[in-house]
């Protein structure tokens, strides 16, 4: 089977279930949420216009995992990045609606950067994963609160956020890997440069 071009200008993507996926792209001067793969029912039949004007600085994150199979999950789009200050708009599932998400905006402090989006485990809604300007703290930013995820004396060199499990992986300058789980509200895994590890079992987000 030959590869098939599905779309261009894709900003973010995530698996849903089976062979289906959700992605964010820019097209015709707008930002869109679209789907690819086998289409059977539910949300996978919809294309959602987020009514945002893309720019060269536009970035996007997806979260929600399998929730996209039944309705809208979560999408974050960077809408501004001037003067070292990022502005983001987060779209999240609205009860009873598949294609009309609610939204909220966040303006980060100078030097901070958003590195992902996660679905909150203890309450409805989503939160931006934000790295501090000094690169030593990771926090969650949501409309009603800000909570510290992790802080370290060593600068955090890399951060990766899984759009399905919501696990946050943080690699420090000393080559120590910390994996934080919103379900556990704490570290699920720590791997040291010596190869030793501390681990707790974490399940994928439903």
Question: SS3 breakdown of the chain: % helix, strand, coil, rounded to 5?
Answer: 5, 50, 45
Say what the pLDDT of residue 112 is: 97
Please report whether residue 48 resides in a domain: yes
Q: Tell me which of 139 and 44 has the higher pLDDT.
A: 139
Please tell me the distance from the alpha carbon of residue 142 to that of residue 88, in angstroms, as a whole number: 11
Distances (CA, A) of 118 to 142, 153, 191: 10, 25, 22
Say what the pLDDT of residue 65 is: 86
Residue 115 belongs to domain spanning: 10-152
Looking at the chain, the whole-number percentage of residues with pLDDT higher than 90 is 47
Residues in the chain: 206
Please tell me the distance from the alpha carbon of residue 111 to that of residue 155, in angstroms, as a whole number: 14
Q: Which residue do the tokens 């789009």 mark?
A: 77
For the entire predicted model, the pTM comes to 0.85
* 8 A C-beta contact, residue 161 and residue 115: yes
Total count of domains within the chain: 1
Please report whether residue 122 resides in a domain: yes
Please report whether residue 169 resides in a domain: no
């Amino acid at each position: 089977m030959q590869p098939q071009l599905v779309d261009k200008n894709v900003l973010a993507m995530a698996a849903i279930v089976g062979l289906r996926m959700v992605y964010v792209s820019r097209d015709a001067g707008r930002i869109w949420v679209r789907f690819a793969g086998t289409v059977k029912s539910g949300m996978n039949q919809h294309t959602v216009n987020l009514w945002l004007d893309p720019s060269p600085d536009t970035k996007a994150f997806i979260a929600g995992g399998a929730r996209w199979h039944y309705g809208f999950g979560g999408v974050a789009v960077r809408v501004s990045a001037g003067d070292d200050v990022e502005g983001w708009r987060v779209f999240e599932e609205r009860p009873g609606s598949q294609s009309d998400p609610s939204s909220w905006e966040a303006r980060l402090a100078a030097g901070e950067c958003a590195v992902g989006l996660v679905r909150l485990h203890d309450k409805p809604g989503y939160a931006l994963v934000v790295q501090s300007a000094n690169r030593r703290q990771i926090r969650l930013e949501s409309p009603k609160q800000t909570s510290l995820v992790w802080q370290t004396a060593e600068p955090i060199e890399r951060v990766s956020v899984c759009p399905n499990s919501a696990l946050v992986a943080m690699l420090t300058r000393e080559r120590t890997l910390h994996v934080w789980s919103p379900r556990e509200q704490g570290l699920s895994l720590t791997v040291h440069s010596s190869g030793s590890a501390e681990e707790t079992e974490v399940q994928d987000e439903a």
